[in-house]
Structure 1
Amino acid sequence: MDFDLILNELSLRNPAPNEQVAQQRMSELIKTIKAVKAQGVKVSLRTKEDFHTIILAPNYPLRHWLNDADQVERLFIKTLATKAPFSTNIANPEIQEIENNVSLSEFRHQGEIAIGLGIAYVLNTITINTIAISLLSQECWDSNHVKLEFRCLDEYGEMISKIVEIIHASRSSHVQEHTSLIQQHQERIYQNVSDGLEVWNRREELFPNLEFCDVVRKQLEDIRTGQLELQPVVSILFELHKCSKDWNNGYFNLDGYSVEESGESKPTLDKYFKERTFRCPDGKDRLFDRHIKLRFCNWRIHFFAVKPGQVIIGYVGRHLPTVKHTT
């Protein structure tokens, strides 16, 4: 499931005075989106209209900015998943009603109808995976929350109005203040994994900072729906994913993470090294000495930290044989 970023169309109504300011605004928007992605989630940008038709400054549409932007920013925008209009792939009728018939139910910001901000509010009443984002075109958007007036008709046809607050970001620093929200989104995704086959099929989405040996596929596929080991395995893989994401240099240290790590004794490695040697995705055979313990079920997850950015999972299953315990 994507983490939806809803682009506030009101922040596009004040084009920058010149191309240089427009470029600064786009750089800040990209930093904001990247800050969300850095939390380890896959993002999708929802817009009112085609994102690439945005006018950033007089005679300076986004397509001209693409010609001027550096290669990294240009590639980021081109590869960013965008959806327009807002309700694309959203089946909830309440959301589509707000977008298509604002006369019955509407949101306003400082008196102006706010479609995108309203969609963000409604989505967050249903799910926990939405943040409204704005181009930093006015001071009012320089905030991690935005207040809206919500108007709708009650069951008697009377207009009611209330002030609501939405989660918002226009700077990367705002995203840091929403870390707990994003973590809730992640936890929800992992809790909804149904079985080990789904873990394998979605491994690149769920654990983008981990690699998996081919032998792990069968081990994960054997974990059935409702099996007690499923959620502990998913949780430990998530902890290894987080640690891998944070690993920049030096030793791959798991201190401070919710895992119990061990290594093997020399006698065990001397006798059972073959049982701990696995063919890795790069074609190399490696000895997977380090492992995480799942004590309640006597399972182990063996991993190999090659270098920052490359942590490989080699085994998921029951305790491998040792000199003290042969089964």
Structure 2
Amino acid sequence: MPLLFLNEKSWGRTCDKARAEAAMADFVDVVRAVADEDRSGTSLVSEVELKSLDIADGYPVGKWIGGSPKNHVRWQRLLALRNRAPVRSVYPTPDADDHLEYRYEDATVVGMGAAHFMDGVAVSLPVAPSWSTSSVTLDRRELVELEDGSQEFEHEAVEVRHVSAVPHVDEHRSWMRRSALARAATGRQIWEHKEDLYPHLQFLPRTEAQLSDLDPRWVVPVRRCLERLDAAAADWDAAVAPEPEWRSRVTPEGETRKRVCRFEDVDGEWRTFHLHARFTPGAGRIHFRPVGEENRIRVAHVGRKIRPDL
């Protein structure tokens, strides 16, 4: 079950008590609708504990709970779910997103950014029209290492899954019902279920050790990168184009570095796998080559940038 990340920007807004009451009722319904897919596996993740939040400006959760028996029942329904805080408590390592910043309307967003980074779902209190949508576009700012070793920030518009009303949950229900393995939590899980997760990718035997020992900070970024490569391969017709239409940034190695990208292929021949996609934090690389006769992509390296002495 994906994690539900609370959009902190939807709380503590200025609105009247009646609107706040209705929004909380809707919020509980939405969270429980998600939980109905997997009650034991659903967690609501927030930067601070729910009981510390203000539903609206000057209207704290505690006051809402005591406002009526119905509100107390709704609160008990929320308490049936695990509330985890702060957001980084669910990261593979506390510093896993130190290279990233997510912004919405020029303001940093913690919860929605975490939902994208951890491949989860953002959930908002429906107090403003901005949150009446099943996806939200964020500006993702990422510190990446360039081929010459220097670093720079790259900007990218990304879509995060979002719910604030039960119909939004219905839009994401098929995704939520996918096997938990589709959200593999370790590199070893990626390796063991690679045929199911990435049917259009092939992996050299050497990548088993690399994935099995994958840095926990890299599991989600590698998973995302492989998903994009698989999607590109799925739409590729080698008779029409020599390469797939890439869904992420893919670049070739320069001539002087191609020699460090030669690996023994599945047939025993040594070939150059100089095309690569990048992932962060750090200088993460996935090296591969398109195999036109099979309309597949063959992966040879998953790990740090290959150095000439390795």
Whole-Å separation in 2 of the counterparts to 1:5 and 1:47: 9
Who is 2:93 aligned against? 92
Deviation string 1:190-249 (CA, Å, 9 cap, x unpaired) is xx9xxxxxxxxxxxxxxxxxxxxxxxxxxxxxxxxxxxxxxxxxxxxxxxxxxxxxxxxx
Matches within 5 A, 1:1-327: 3-15=2-14, 17-41=15-39, 42-69=41-68, 70=70, 71-93=72-94, 95-97=96-98, 104-124=99-119, 130-155=120-145, 156-186=150-180
Deviation string 1:19-49 (CA, Å, 9 cap, x unpaired) is 2211111001011111112224431100011
Report the TM-score when normalising by structure 2: 0.53
Report the TM-score when normalising by structure 1: 0.50
User: Structure 1 counterpart of 2:113, which letter?
Assistant: G
Deviation string 1:61-112 (CA, Å, 9 cap, x unpaired) is 0001111241431311233310110021432355452xxxxxx520111111
User: Structure 1 counterpart of 2:56, which letter?
Assistant: A
Q: Percent identity?
A: 25
Whole-Å separation in 1 of the counterparts to 2:76 and 2:144: 47
Rate the CA distance shift 1:50–1:175 in 2: closer, same or farther, 3 A: same
Whole-Å separation in 2 of the counterparts to 1:45 and 1:68: 23
**Given that residues 18 and 58 in structure 1 are in contact (C-alpha distance below 8 angstroms), is that contact kept between their aligned partners in structure 2?**
no
Q: Which protein shows a greater Rg?
A: 1
Rate the CA distance shift 1:63–1:185 in 2: closer, same or farther, 3 A: farther
**Given that residues 95 and 122 in structure 1 are in contact (C-alpha distance below 8 angstroms), is that contact kept between their aligned partners in structure 2?**
no
Deviation string 1:280-307 (CA, Å, 9 cap, x unpaired) is xxxxxxxxxxxxxxxxxxxxxxxxxxxx
SS at match of 2:133: coil
Whole-Å separation in 1 of the counterparts to 2:130 and 2:90: 30
Whole-Å separation in 1 of the counterparts to 2:179 and 2:86: 23
**Given that residues 145 and 169 in structure 1 are in contact (C-alpha distance below 8 angstroms), is that contact kept between their aligned partners in structure 2?**
yes
Rate the CA distance shift 1:164–1:94 in 2: closer, same or farther, 3 A: farther
Deviation string 1:151-185 (CA, Å, 9 cap, x unpaired) is 12221222211101111101111000001111114
User: Structure 1 counterpart of 2:140, which letter?
Assistant: F
Gaps of 5+ in 2: 187-310
SS at match of 2:103: strand
**Given that residues 12 and 57 in structure 2 are in contact (C-alpha distance below 8 angstroms), is that contact kept between their aligned partners in structure 1?**
no
**Given that residues 144 and 167 in structure 1 are in contact (C-alpha distance below 8 angstroms), is that contact kept between their aligned partners in structure 2?**
yes
**Given that residues 10 and 114 in structure 1 are in contact (C-alpha distance below 8 angstroms), is that contact kept between their aligned partners in structure 2?**
yes
Whole-Å separation in 1 of the counterparts to 2:24 and 2:75: 10
**Given that residues 13 and 57 in structure 2 are in contact (C-alpha distance below 8 angstroms), is that contact kept between their aligned partners in structure 1?**
no
User: Structure 2 counterpart of 1:145, which letter?
Assistant: S
Rate the CA distance shift 1:59–1:118 in 2: closer, same or farther, 3 A: closer
What is the RMSD computed on CA atoms of the aligned residues? Answer: 2.4
86-95 or 106-115, larger mean C-alpha shift: 86-95
Residue 187 of structure 1 and its aligned partner are, at CA, apart by 6.7
User: Structure 2 counterpart of 1:144, which letter?
Assistant: S
